[in-house]
Structure 1
Amino acid sequence: MESFQVKKGLPSTGMWDVAIGAEVSPKPPRKLEPEQAPLVFEEAVRTLRGTPGEDAILSAFQDIAAACVAGLAEACRLESEAFSGPAVISPAALTYPEPLLRQGAFAFMVFHCRIGADGQVRDCKVVEGARLPGVEENLAACQLARYRPATISGHPVSVDYTFHVRFVPEGRTLTRHQEQEWARLRVRQNPESRSAWLNLARELAKNDPGDPLYPQAVARAYFLAPRSGWAASETAWQLVQSGQYAPALSAVRPFLRRSHNPYVLETAAAAQFGLKQCTAALAEQQKAVELLPAEWPAPERERFQRKLQDYQSACAAPPATP
């Protein structure tokens, strides 16, 4: 995800924030058993070393992702290195709608598009902001943008691409309460928008995790965006708290091998411990402890350490009987 602010070409009283994100494929990776992973990975690498068509490229990348999920470390390394997102050549000439600018109004637009292997933006649709003035002009501006295409191991590929455009009056900021109210308004107005639900869930996680809406927001965000590692991890943690260890592990497993986030690892460890998979739980919690940032608060670091000690005690082999 790339985030940036621009003022160029705008009146001195307005600005926008733009966040853009690319996804290589809407399909989840196939499921592999650990013993299948090396052969599947080897075949995928062989494909990418040749001159494959786009379908073969995407299929090979999906196989690499599947091998990563199955626990093959070299597949995880290649997956993280092989994909390069689109790079802007000629950005979208977005404009703050004049009626909103005059009113000093905040506004949000979300456009879902594809960037082809030729770098052209196409197949755009409005996800949020359909009734706002200026939406068609800004949609057209997105489609006129040009990019260097995304690549997988150097091969150009098409990707889904989402533009999040937030219009903010110059010199104005929202309070924490206003940010939350805006987040709630977005999901009411756009109940099928994964961007809106992810935003609401993150706002509540950061500022009000005790809100009764938070579990629903997380569940809805995960349903609409199952490839969001954050939504998957939060959903898995909630499942762990309710004793649903198998679905929790299923939710977080696709992100486990590629994650360096202690919370993701902690969640997986808790699910594995609940399933009495002691060896796996100890390994994941140990890795989580090793990855704890030095700048984290001492109480939080100590909590991770205590949980590791709890697992070590509970998983200790019983003394041998004479």
Structure 2
Amino acid sequence: MDEVLRDASPRKGSWDVAALLADASADKPPVELEPAQAPGVFAEAVQLLKGTPSQEEVQRALGDLSAACEAGLQASCSFLHESLSRPKLISGGRFVSPHPRALVERGMFALLIFRCRFDTDGRVRDCKVIEGGPVDGTQRALDELYASLYRPPTLAGHPLSIPYTFHLRFTPPKGELTREEELAWARQRVSQHPKSASAWMTLAQWLAVQSPQDRLYPQAVARAHSLSPGSWWAATEVAWQQVQSGEYAAALITVRPSMRREWANSYVLETAAAAYFGLGQCLEALKVQERAVELMLKAWPQPEQERFQRKAQEYRTACPPEALTTSTPPAE
């Protein structure tokens, strides 16, 4: 029997607001704001969303909120994270593997990736195949996607027409790939689909886990960041590599957008702190690292928590005593 993916709702782990915003603005000229402009633009967007805006106005508000977030206004970043709701499957979404049943029963895995658009009526439209399988099976999955009905994504309760990328992974009954097989599959995917952001991101993440010394790792991370600039993970990994190479200014430029959007992410903050320290900005490094320590999850392994704390102590020891008495905020 073919494996059925019963629920095609976006999974919680895949709801990356920053990546979604980057995807949504890919075909539009970016809105750029100076930090001083951000509060006013943010206030206007929030006020607009309190009324009954048109879809054009909702889209404009989304762009303005994203620009204010990029300008370093944490209130705007928080509003986006709290007010953007994910789509939810209402009916349909029953997919079968694109491969013949005989291959599925023998353990054939499959992954289909479609870049589509959610419309405000909850329908999926304008799909493009990013990674496909056999033609007939891929078309069958695409037809099912078009026939499915979702509660559309919303911004402050207002339906959005927004791009979204679907990842449909099919596993045979009782089938599970080992880590080594996952890595081998990721290598195969980038070979077959060299323009797939998902393929490069998956390869980079598996290499990070299994083989960070692999010569392909820097290239995989760079490609993932290039194809998915909204991903905080890829940006942070590229910036960390730049720190290790002594390219501190470049690292800060790379990680700064993620630092603004993901201001509560300890790994982003750790990378930014290392860049500040490399630039000789000791106090800024200490403040950012201390915030990273403060925001660490209690569930983190003890060695990881201790590593963050040791780094904060290292910065504290390196800072001149007089610097520790100042209150200069971290540079933006």
Which band: TM-score by shorter chain?
Answer: 0.7 to 0.9
For 1:26, give the aligned amino acid.
S
For 1:270, give the aligned amino acid.
A
- For residues 104 and 50 of structure 2, the distance between their equivalents in structure 1, rounded to whole angstroms, comes to 51
- The equivalent residue for 2:311 is 307
The count of residues paired between Structure 1 and Structure 2 equals: 308
- CA deviations 1:268-318 (Å, max 9, x no partner) are 111122233333322210111112223333332222122112222323255
The structure-2 alpha-carbon separation of the partners of 1:274 and 1:30, relative to structure 1 and needing over 3 Å to count, comes to farther
- For residues 36 and 219 of structure 2, the distance between their equivalents in structure 1, rounded to whole angstroms, comes to 38
- The equivalent residue for 2:288 is 284
- Partners of 1:15 and 1:169 within 8 A in 2: no
Partner SS state of residue 164, structure 2: strand
Q: Does 1:238 align with 2:241?
A: yes
- The equivalent residue for 1:213 is 216
- For residues 66 and 173 of structure 1, the distance between their equivalents in structure 2, rounded to whole angstroms, comes to 42
- The equivalent residue for 1:271 is 275
- The equivalent residue for 1:4 is none
For 1:181, give the aligned amino acid.
A
Listed as ranges, the gaps of 5+ residues in structure 2 are 324-332
Q: Mean alpha-carbon deviation: is it higher for 230-239 or for 291-300?
A: 291-300
The one of 130, 139, 143 aligned to 1:140 = 143
* Structure with greater strand share of residues: 1
- Partners of 2:105 and 2:172 within 8 A in 1: no
- The equivalent residue for 1:167 is 170
1:241 to partner: Cα distance: 1.2
Provide the aligned C-alpha RMSD in A: 2.3
- Partners of 2:204 and 2:221 within 8 A in 1: yes
- The equivalent residue for 1:52 is 53
- For residues 30 and 308 of structure 1, the distance between their equivalents in structure 2, rounded to whole angstroms, comes to 36
- The equivalent residue for 1:229 is 232
The structure-2 alpha-carbon separation of the partners of 1:19 and 1:56, relative to structure 1 and needing over 3 Å to count, comes to closer
- The equivalent residue for 2:100 is 98
Q: Mean alpha-carbon deviation: is it higher for 213-222 or for 98-107?
A: 98-107
- For residues 170 and 303 of structure 1, the distance between their equivalents in structure 2, rounded to whole angstroms, comes to 41
- For residues 62 and 286 of structure 1, the distance between their equivalents in structure 2, rounded to whole angstroms, comes to 32
- For residues 232 and 93 of structure 1, the distance between their equivalents in structure 2, rounded to whole angstroms, comes to 35
Normalising by structure 1, report the TM-score. 0.87
Question: Alignment identity in percent?
Answer: 50
Q: Mean alpha-carbon deviation: is it higher for 258-267 or for 70-79?
A: 70-79
- For residues 40 and 172 of structure 1, the distance between their equivalents in structure 2, rounded to whole angstroms, comes to 51
1:182 to partner: Cα distance: 0.6
- Partners of 2:9 and 2:89 within 8 A in 1: no
The structure-2 alpha-carbon separation of the partners of 1:318 and 1:284, relative to structure 1 and needing over 3 Å to count, comes to closer
- For residues 193 and 127 of structure 1, the distance between their equivalents in structure 2, rounded to whole angstroms, comes to 6
- CA deviations 1:194-249 (Å, max 9, x no partner) are 11111111111112211111111100000000011111111111111112222322
1:29 to partner: Cα distance: 6.0
1:77 to partner: Cα distance: 2.2
- For residues 187 and 287 of structure 1, the distance between their equivalents in structure 2, rounded to whole angstroms, comes to 37
The structure-2 alpha-carbon separation of the partners of 1:251 and 1:31, relative to structure 1 and needing over 3 Å to count, comes to farther
1:67 to partner: Cα distance: 2.3
- The equivalent residue for 2:301 is 297
Partner SS state of residue 168, structure 2: strand
- For residues 51 and 9 of structure 2, the distance between their equivalents in structure 1, rounded to whole angstroms, comes to 34
